[in-house]
Amino acid sequence: MADWLTSEYLEAALRRHYQDNELRVKSMVISPALGKGENYGAILTRIRLVYSSNVEEHLIAKTLLENEDAETKKKKAPYDIYNRELEIYEQVLPRLQELAGEQLCPKVLHIDREKGALIMEDLTHQGFVMAPRLQRLDEQHVSLVLRKLAKMQAASAVLENNSLENTFSLTKYDKGFFNRNTESFSAYFLGCLKSCAAYLKTQPGYERHAKLLDELAPYYMGLGLRCFQPEVAHINVLTHGDLWTNNMMFKYEAGVPSDVLLIDFQYAFWGSPTLDIHHLLNTSAVEQVSCELQMKMRCVYHDVFVGELQRHGFKGQRLPSRKQFHLESEQKRFYAVHCGLLLLPVLLNTDETDADFAALLSDQPRGMNMKRRLYLNPGIQDSIKQMVKQFELEGLLDPWQFECL
């Protein structure tokens, strides 16, 4: 926990939020909100406060990672993830929620730019829980997320369209995982790609797939960048950018998911809405959904997205038909390779050894060994083999696409 996160600090912050100078914190209890390997981008701390009036409040503090080495900080710096998230929570999400007409994310009580900290409501005390990340999400959960996402992203397209004559623009968020400003995550991505190929070489019948991945390496960052470039002819949105199980919380009624809120906007960027769909399906959905119901899930998103744009009287690009939206999704389909073969093993990792962002970003032995161990997880090996065969059938690993770079 950050040593400055004290009862005195929270008392001052909450006095400002509630505009109550008489507010007193009588006691504070803190505990980690997530275990090692469950969040690589920040420290999440659960806080229980009791005020002098004996009223309880339950909060989450999101603070900077501690003790990061200089090299890791240097590699992360171009992404500016902390300032980006604070600004989005402070300036963007309130407008999107107003346009969407419903809650999209946790309520924020305090933003500290100097310390890079967020203090927000603890959604578990509002009846929301995080789904078990290792089990992955079924059709009901995925459909609920896509409907919420579509409302948020339609609102972002409307907000941007209405802001064309103002200085405020969502297009400034141009630093997704792949972007023109930096390739500082290349050691992370290419290290995982090589580790995936090395694993497949040990599996009978997958030697050809391993060779294709090895041949992909020199072109990989360029192919990712091509996916992340906004298409002028298509409707672009503020994407979530890291849409997986641990970045959403569900509410249930009689055991059925009834609502979902999104959290963690560190990698939100302006681009194609299809990227978030590829991310969700290939990192967090059960295989029946990610493989057999992919087209259906796109339709779930598309119908809400277009309906919301119509409701707002969107005056930008022409609204896509279902067929056009499928074509747009296929145009960005290489991102599914990235999410399925590289991100899935990281997000479903069960080995806590060196499970931190510094190891992911490193091409030194500690980092490479960590990435190699990701593919020794029995929980993801069948998925990797199934997906790499499917990606080959779709032509996503074929050398012809390199000619376009």
Tokens of 343: 């991100």
Q: Is residue 59 part of a domain?
A: no
Q: Is the pLDDT of residue 280 over 60?
A: yes
Q: Is the pLDDT of residue 150 over 60?
A: yes
Q: Is residue 117 part of a domain?
A: no
Report the pLDDT value the prediction gives residue 13, as an integer from 0 to 100.
95
Report the pLDDT value the prediction gives residue 401, as an integer from 0 to 100.
66
Q: Is residue 19 part of a domain?
A: no
φ and ψ at residue 136, rounded to 5 degrees: 65, 165
Number of domains into which the chain is organized = 1
Q: Is residue 14 part of a domain?
A: no
The mean pLDDT value of the chain amounts to 94
pLDDT bracket for residue 31 (50, 70, 90): very high
Nearest 5 degrees, angle CA 202-CA 207-CA 210? 90
Q: Is residue 44 part of a domain?
A: no
**Of 221, 201, 210, 190, which Cα lies nearest the Cα of 392?**
210
Q: Is the pLDDT of residue 405 over 60?
A: no
Tens digits of per-residue pLDDT, 321-350? 999 999 999 999 999 999 999 999 999 999
Report the pLDDT value the prediction gives residue 34, as an integer from 0 to 100.
76
Report the pLDDT value the prediction gives residue 159, as an integer from 0 to 100.
96
Mean pLDDT, residues 244-258: 97
Tens digits of per-residue pLDDT, 223-235? 999 999 999 999 9
Q: Is residue 90 part of a domain?
A: yes
CATH number of the domain enclosing 253: 3.90.1200
Tell me which residue range forms the domain holding 346: 70-106+127-394
CA distance 14 to 21: 9
Q: Could you give the maximum distance between any two Cα atoms of the chain, in Å? A: 70
Q: Which of 70-74, 96-100, 104-108, 234-238 has the lowest mean pLDDT?
A: 70-74
Q: Is the pLDDT of residue 74 over 70?
A: yes
| C-alpha dihedral (164, 226, 293, 256), degrees to nearest 10 | -50
Q: Is residue 273 part of a domain?
A: yes
Tokens of 53: 């009036």
Q: Is the pLDDT of residue 39 over 60?
A: no
Q: Is residue 326 part of a domain?
A: yes
Report the pLDDT value the prediction gives residue 38, as an integer from 0 to 100.
58
pLDDT bracket for residue 37 (50, 70, 90): low
Residue 63 DSSP label: E
Mean pLDDT, residues 174-203: 95
pLDDT bracket for residue 354 (50, 70, 90): confident
Model pTM score: 0.95
Mean pLDDT, residues 107-112: 96
Report the pLDDT value the prediction gives residue 71, as an integer from 0 to 100.
87
